[in-house]
């Protein structure tokens, strides 16, 4: 398990309770096995202030990795971040999404 992360299986999302002030450095999205008929999208939202921090999509026919780096996508200690995945079909297999944070001291 990862401290501060709750899995919400009913919404296909992960909820992260920020223990510190954090800044998003990058988000990577991979399709290791093709089993989608449409796009896969990962959305990172700071639900504390209703701010969409990152949205990253990869086409279902594209198996290559997709990475985005961002600046000024920060969250404060105590904020709740929702890391949601949507896909077509909803039960897409072989999906990996990697989020990198930097702790602000």
Q: What percent of the chain has pLDDT over 70?
A: 67
pLDDT at 59: 75
Is residue 9 packed enough to be buried (19+ CB in 10 Å), middle (13-18) or exposed (0-12)? exposed
Write out pLDDT tens, residues 1-52. Answer: 455 555 565 566 788 888 888 888 877 877 766 556 677 788 888 899 888 8
Is residue 84 packed enough to be buried (19+ CB in 10 Å), middle (13-18) or exposed (0-12)? middle
pLDDT at 38: 73
pTM: 0.70
pLDDT at 1: 40
Q: Quick one: average pLDDT of 54-69?
A: 72
């Amino acid at each position: 398990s990862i401290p501060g992360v709750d899995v919400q299986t009913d919404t296909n999302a992960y909820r992260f309770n920020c223990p510190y002030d954090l800044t998003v450095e990058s988000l990577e999205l991979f399709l290791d096995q093709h089993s989608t008929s449409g796009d896969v999208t990962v959305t990172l939202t700071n639900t504390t202030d209703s701010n969409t921090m990152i949205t990253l999509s990869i086409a279902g026919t594209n198996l290559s990795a997709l990475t985005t780096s961002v600046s000024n996508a920060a969250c404060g200690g105590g904020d709740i971040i929702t890391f949601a995945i949507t896909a077509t079909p909803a039960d897409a297999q072989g999906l990996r999404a990697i989020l990198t944070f930097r702790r602000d001291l």
